[in-house]
Amino acid sequence: MRVQHSCRGLLVTISTHYIMYLGSLVELASSDDLYASPLHPYTQALMSAIPLHDPQRKIQHIPLTGDVPSPINPPAGCRFHTRCAYVVDQCKSVAPEWRELRPDHFVACHIAK
């Protein structure tokens, strides 16, 4: 496994991406699918932070609010719920299960469609 903090460099070298938040896997997909249509809110925020080489293309930056929870004492339920703009009550108490929402595109999120 290779850990990289620069998403742009990964697009060329890795065909499948594993997106983690606070030590938990939240999304798994091919490079093409992940960059074209991320499903998890954390992945969406990550993708919106990638600078574009084309100044004519605009992308809406998705800011993450709040503080990052402690990885030693993560929150109950979905670990991302304290910073998620789409949080629902279920996110606060129930850890999301892996779902395959598209062929070979998996996500651990209650609200992803």
pLDDT recorded at residue 4: 53
Contact 5, 25 (CB under 8 A): no
Q: Is the pLDDT of residue 47 over 60?
A: yes
For 3-46, how does the pLDDT look when each residue is reduced to its tens digit (9 = 90+)?
555 555 554 556 899 999 999 999 999 999 998 999 999 999 99
If pLDDT is split at 50, 70 and 90, which confidence band does 87 have? very high
pLDDT, mean of residues 84-98 = 96
pLDDT recorded at residue 19: 96
Q: What is the DSSP string of 45-93?
A: HHHHTSPPS-TT------PPPSPPPPSSSPPSS-TTTTT-TT--HHHHH
If pLDDT is split at 50, 70 and 90, which confidence band does 61 have? confident
